[in-house]
Structures are given as C-alpha cells and as structure tokens.
Structure 1
Amino acid sequence: MPFDVARARRAYPALAEGFVHFDGAAGTLVAEPVARAVVGVLGGAVSNRTTAFEPGRRALRIVDAARAAVGDLLGADPAGVVFGPSATALTYTVARGLAEQWRPGDNVVVTRLDHDANVRPWVQLAQRTGVEVRWAAFDPGTGALPVDVFAPLVDARTKVVAVTAASNAIGTRPDVAAVARLAHDAGALVYVDGVHATAHLPVDVAALGADFYVTSAYKWSGPHLAACVAAPRLWERTAMLKLLPSSDAVPERFELGTPSFELLAGVEAAVGFLATLDDDAAGSRRDRVLRSMAAVHAYEMRLFDRLLDGLRAVPAVRILPAPAGGCPTVSFRVGDQDPARTAELLGRQGICVFSGDYYAAEYFIAMGLRGSGGAVRAGVYHYTTAEDVDRLVAAVAQVR
C-alpha cells in the first residue's frame, strides 16, 4: 500500500505553522507522541535513580526502556547503548577512550565525505598520540566513496576506520559492510556515523559490520539526545575518565552525570512512533520499525526523484554530484548567487533550507566550494509532500 503521508503529518503539530521543511538533515520536527512523553516525565514524580522508592524506580525504568528502544531501532544490544548530548560528544568520548591504546606507528583512517564530527575527533587524538591519519577520498565527479580507496590505506597497524553510513551533504551511501570487512580483516575497528542514515533507512548494525554506530534522535523526530551503540565487550575495553563514586559498569560509566530522564522518555516514544509509519507493520517493535522504515525510504526516494527532476529543469541550478541510491538529500547552487542569499530568499517564502558546509568541511574543501559559501541543502523527510517539492522548485526558479 502507498505510504500515508497525510496520516504521518497529523503527528506533527508544528506543520500547522505553514513552513515548508527541507531542513531535516539539520534536525526534524518533533512528533507529538514524543513531546507528550517528555512533558509526562516533567510533570510526574520522577527522581534520580534508586530502588528505594517508586519515583526513583520510575527513573530506572525510563533509562532501561530508552536503551531497549534504541536497540530495536538499530538491531543493537540494549546493554551496549550509551546516551550522550550529541553525536559529536559521543564520538569524542569513544575516540579518547580508544586512543589510550594507540602508539606511534599506528594509524587511523577517516574520509573526506564525512561530517566533521566523524573526522576531527580522530584527527585530533591521532595528533596527540603521534598516530598517522590516512584519508579516504571520494570521487568529486560522482560523489561516490568506493571501497577500493580504502584498500591501500588499511593495514595491520590501523586502529580505527571511521566512515559515514550516509553523507549529510549529498546523501552518498558508501558500502559500509564491505569497508568493515576490509577493516576487520586487518584487525581494525569500524566507527560508523549513522546520524543521517538512521532517519531514512532500516538499520542493522550487525549487517553493516559497525563496531560502534552513533545516531542522534533529533534527526528522526525525537529530542536533542544521541546514542552510540557497541557490543558491551567493546565498551569494557574502552577507557573512560569518570568520578570515583559513579558506576564503573557498562554502559553507565560512559554517561557522565545524571541523565535527562524526560529526553530518554522522548527517545523511546520516537522509536515507538517510527514503528507506526506503516499501517500493515506487525510483530515485535523491531519488526515494525524495519517495515515502517522500509516504507519511509521507498516513499522518500520517489519524492526525491521528483525534486531532482524539478531542480535539473531550472536554468543555472548546479546540483553537486551524488550516486543514485543514497539518502534523499541534495546540495545545489543557483548560478553565482551566494548560497546564504539563496537560503535567505527561500526563507522569506517560508521554505526552510540550510546553506554553507553543514559541518561537512572536508567535502566542501575538496570540492573547492567552502570558501565561496558551500551550497544550499534540501532534504526530503517522511512528512514532505509532492506539493512541498513543487513549491521549493518554483521558488528556486524565482530566486535564480
């Protein structure tokens, strides 16, 4: 059956304000069940975690439920789900912990396609520990990041290969599973930035071969909270500075301070909401998430084809190249117009798009565009409609 976008949109009260949202790659609107769950915790008797009394036991249940929800979203062990304020913060946490075991002569591999949150932590920790940084370059003519570029970079001294599951700039989806096989054959760990991909695709971290996989809930209708998942045995081997009285157990020892119980409740609600996006989905929450996200992806990609066709028909629009089959995200420029000016003119018409480098700094440096303002980015999400797409295309034609 076709994806029911009208039903999905009813879950987003903010859409009533009338803005057209192509800004989901920077953060989506929050679904109503998520907001309700957050408010419910804020308005209820929830204390810090303890088994001594009921409000403390509620806090324990909230944390456990959030870990289980992320496990169902990603196909991960709930005991290996670590929460943090952002994907950037969590990646720094993991990088600092793993770097304790690095020695001069070792190397790490990063890509020029990634968001800087999956580049700079590894580069900075490598510099601090005297470890070599090796760069996997994408093809500027196609936007692809072929597996074969990793082969000469990975060897027996490679400690980590950091790679994106989907580019937040142009949507490219590298063959992460193949990269992971190459890395694992050499004894390296694989750290996958799944922030952009998780919002658009069914995810199975085991099938990807990801040793660590990070995602941000606010990119998939949830609150501003992030999670990094790994097998508990990997967390056990990862160093962490912590307070003396705080738990040394995994995953708690990586979560500094008291968690935000209301946001954790929002994470659980967001996963539950995603599981409802296909009317015919049945079975466990994991089963329903997989089916719903498959339906979402099919719908979004059909709409994305409409967007690409529309933009290509506008004279002077330059679309930055990306291979087919990625996530529904496009970066473009309109003639010699400053991308910030394009975004401002579209914003005056109630159309929300971002401009600049969107923290994909290495990508725009390699493309020779960072110094001239980067590009304009538009992304399709499951509440986007064909009318939204047509409105954006018409507005781009006007502002050119």
Structure 2
Amino acid sequence: MTYDIAAIRARFPALAAGTAHFDGPGGTQTPAPVIEAIADALAAPLSNRGHETAGERNADGIVVAARQAMADLLAADPSGIVFGRSATQLTYDFSRTLSRTWAPGDEVVVTRLDHDANIRPWIQAAERAQVTVRWVDFDPATGELSLDEVRSVLSARTRLVAVTAASNLIGTRPAITEICRLAHERGALAYVDGVHHTAHTLVDVERLGADFFVCSPYKFLGPHHGVLAARPELLETLRPDKLLPSSDRVPERFELGTLPYELLAGTTAAVEFLADLDPAATGSRRQRLATAFAALEAREETLRTRMEKGLSELGGITVHSRAADRTPTLLLTFDDEAHSTVDACRFLARRGVCAPSGSFYALEASRRLGLGDTGGLRLGLAPYSSAEDVDRLLSGLADFLTG
C-alpha cells in the first residue's frame, strides 16, 4: 500500500487550522466522513429502535451496523459487542457485576502500567467484596511488564486479571496473549484495556485471549463513547442491574438507557475510514482493515524513529518509552529542572504544536517512573501525522531548550 498522507490529511477539517497534533492518545481528530455520518443520522427520521416507522428502522439499522463494524475491527462476535458512555463507565459496570461472584479470600490482579480506569474500579469492587488485590509492577528502566511477576501473583483464588494491551502513558505493549493464558490456567478471567492499543494495532480478541476487551472509538478517529467486546456465551452468565422493562437479551441487557445512535453511526464510519486508508484494497472489511493497519504500523514506526532520533540529537531529554514492543507514543522529561514539561506544552502550543503534559490518568505508572502525579510531555502519532509535523515538533523543542 502507498500511504497517501496528503490525501488522508485532506479529509480532516480540523487540520486546516494548521496545528500539528501529537495529542492523539488523548483523542484523535475527526475525518469528514465521520462528521457527515453523525449529521446524516440526526437529519434522518430517528426514534427508539423498532421496525414500524422510518425512525425506528433507522435507529435499529444504525445499531446493527455499528455492532458489525466493531466486530470487524476487533475480530469479535457482533452479538458480544456492548456499547456504553465510555470505557471507564463500562469497566465500572462490569466490575460491579463480576464482583458479585467473588467471595472473601478471592483475589484480583491489577498492574501499575494501566490507566486508572482499569485499576480503580477493580480495587473499589474488591474492597466491597472483601477480596485481596495483587499488584504487578513494571520495570521503570525498560518499561517492561514481567511475565514472571505475573505468574508470581496468580493463585488458585485469582478471579480476574485486569491488564492493559498498551500503556497510554509510555506505549508499552505487554505480552497480552501470554498473560491471558496464565490467567486462564488459574481459572481467572482476563479484562483487557485496549483503548490505546486499538488505535495502532489490528485487534483479534480471540487470539489475544481476552475475555473482555474494552476500547474507545474517539481514540481511532470516531466519536466519544465506549465499546466492550466479549463472547456472547460469557455475557449470558452475567446478570447486571437493569430496568425491569428493558431488554434482557445479550448484549442489550448491559446497555443502560437509549443508545447514542448518531455516535454509533459515526463509529461505523470511523471503522470504514480506517478500512479505506488504502483505496485500492479489496476483500471483506476485515481484510481491508488488515491491509490498512499493516501500512499504518509501518508508517508510524518510521515517524516514531524520526522523532526518537531527533530527540536524541537535541540532548537534555529523557525518553521514558523504552519497551521493545510499544506504540508510537513517547513520554519525555527534561534533565534540566529549569525546563518543565508544562512550560514546554505552552511554548509548543504558541507554535501551533499540540503536545500535552501530564500523567493522563496513568497515575500508578507515572509514580512508578519516579515522576509523581506530574508525568511528562506525551507525544503520540495518529494516522494523519506527517513528517512535517514531527519536524515542527523537534524545531519547537530545540527553541524551547535554548530559549
């Protein structure tokens, strides 16, 4: 595939403002087809799902299409796709439901590499159920999460392992397939946070071994809401709190209230946009996605290398993203305490470069790195990132450090 970056960027109205965006890990910019799909859904007749009126049929069609789109993206069963307000909300909902099956003496495992959305819900559920929480650390020198340490905390009483597929702070991609296998050997479930991972790697939930996989379309060019994928037969065993008249079918029993139909239409459009990154690609949508993500990963690797080389040449910068397998997301701090990442963020913003500073809800990871709750400057690539963007970033940082 020839990655036509000019043609891709032309489809993002926000890029016309001239800003170089490195804030993709916090949320990507939106392409025109997604915006149009949202508008079209709202402009057409729309009501609660049904089959009698045009509005009912439109709503039902949008939901069915969105479940299939996310199933294609994640290699999942569309009957196991659950929609929610956010990945955080979905995780809280499932933590409350799953914890009803726990008993004192049981154990759950969380990692310090994770976003707090895949830590705090499980800790709070464990406290209520009087369940023990086991922690898995990562090596701050390498950013790696050790399988040996995972093994050391698992036991016959482990009920759930919560782990990220990719750190939103430093990009580390743990050996998820092996971690899920270890969890299953102990009879535990694996709940995988794929919010950051899904934007950069084509997911296959069955291959990963995730019992639950959660992600957010706004990280991969879509609108703001959350998606969870699980096997329908597993969802059938769970009984969440719900309203009496609402559907008890799977996956509807987990979707509280009326779904945001216009956002689901946008999500379908986002998946289709990704599948069409190579206009010449053929085959099923899943096959086109495979072609697109292979090209996207190769391009992001090239740009990441360009960025890392430029940062090393500037000097006075510590890059905390060091894992052998990682996304194109870099966290950096400055060796000279006179230069803060907050000041760098503001300086770059005045140059039309968006590179945020913080810990980005990955508090445990930031603290493990010795950065407290402050974190660092996070640089993330997205499908619309260009070599010129990277050069503007490096030029801006050079001026900041010498100014």
TM-score in terms of structure 2 length: 0.97
Give the deviation of 1:315 after TM superposition: 2.1
Give the deviation of 1:349 after TM superposition: 0.8
Q: Report the counterpart of residue 394 of structure 1 in structure 2.
A: 395
Percent of aligned pairs sharing the same letter? 50
Alignment of 1:159-178 (within 5 A): 159-178=159-178
| Partner Cα distance (1:385, 1:116) in 2 | 31
| Partner Cα distance (2:353, 2:242) in 1 | 45
Give the deviation of 1:265 after TM superposition: 0.4
C-alpha contact (below 8 Å) 1:95/1:122 kept by paired residues? yes
| Partner Cα distance (1:102, 1:192) in 2 | 19
- The DSSP-based 3-state class of the residue aligned with 1:313 is helix
Give the deviation of 1:30 after TM superposition: 0.7
Letter in 1 for 2:365: Y
C-alpha contact (below 8 Å) 1:140/1:321 kept by paired residues? no
- The DSSP-based 3-state class of the residue aligned with 1:191 is strand
Q: Report the counterpart of residue 211 of structure 1 in structure 2.
A: 211
Letter in 2 for 1:89: Q
Q: Report the counterpart of residue 357 of structure 1 in structure 2.
A: 359
C-alpha contact (below 8 Å) 2:174/2:325 kept by paired residues? no
C-alpha contact (below 8 Å) 1:141/1:321 kept by paired residues? no
Letter in 2 for 1:95: S
Give the deviation of 1:57 after TM superposition: 1.3
Alignment of 1:284-323 (within 5 A): 284-323=284-323
C-alpha contact (below 8 Å) 1:80/1:230 kept by paired residues? yes
C-alpha contact (below 8 Å) 1:48/1:258 kept by paired residues? yes
Letter in 2 for 1:52: E
| Partner Cα distance (2:105, 2:84) in 1 | 31
Letter in 2 for 1:329: T
| Deviation readout 1:243-265 (Å, 9 max, x if unpaired) | 11111111111111111110010
Give the deviation of 1:233 after TM superposition: 1.3
2:152 aligned with 1:152: yes
| Partner Cα distance (1:63, 1:43) in 2 | 17
2:238 aligned with 1:232: no
TM-score in terms of structure 1 length: 0.98
Alignment of 1:1-400 (within 5 A): 1-334=1-334, 335-336=336-337, 337-371=339-373, 373-400=374-401
C-alpha contact (below 8 Å) 2:172/2:321 kept by paired residues? no
How many aligned positions are there?
399
Letter in 2 for 1:3: Y
Q: Where do 5+ consecutive residues of structure 2 fail to align?
A: none
- The DSSP-based 3-state class of the residue aligned with 2:145 is coil
Letter in 2 for 1:377: R
| Deviation readout 1:40-89 (Å, 9 max, x if unpaired) | 01111111112222210111111000000000000000000000111000
| Deviation readout 1:295-340 (Å, 9 max, x if unpaired) | 1111111110000111111121111142133100000012312221
| Deviation readout 1:238-289 (Å, 9 max, x if unpaired) | 2311111111111111111111110010011110110011244211011111
- The DSSP-based 3-state class of the residue aligned with 2:133 is strand
Letter in 2 for 1:244: L
Give the deviation of 1:146 after TM superposition: 2.0
Letter in 1 for 2:341: P
- The DSSP-based 3-state class of the residue aligned with 1:92 is helix
| Deviation readout 1:201-253 (Å, 9 max, x if unpaired) | 11111110000000100000000011000001111122311111111111111
| Partner Cα distance (1:132, 1:98) in 2 | 15
Letter in 1 for 2:252: E
Letter in 1 for 2:400: V
C-alpha contact (below 8 Å) 1:195/1:216 kept by paired residues? yes
C-alpha contact (below 8 Å) 1:94/1:238 kept by paired residues? no
Letter in 1 for 2:239: A
Letter in 2 for 1:10: A
Structure 1 runs (4+) deviating above 6 angstroms are: none
| Partner Cα distance (1:53, 1:13) in 2 | 34
- The DSSP-based 3-state class of the residue aligned with 1:322 is coil
- The DSSP-based 3-state class of the residue aligned with 1:399 is helix
C-alpha contact (below 8 Å) 1:114/1:163 kept by paired residues? yes
| Deviation readout 1:133-191 (Å, 9 max, x if unpaired) | 00110001100112121001111111111111111011100010000111111110001
| Partner Cα distance (1:171, 1:327) in 2 | 5
Q: Larger deviation: 7-16 or 267-276?
A: 7-16
| Partner Cα distance (1:322, 1:79) in 2 | 38
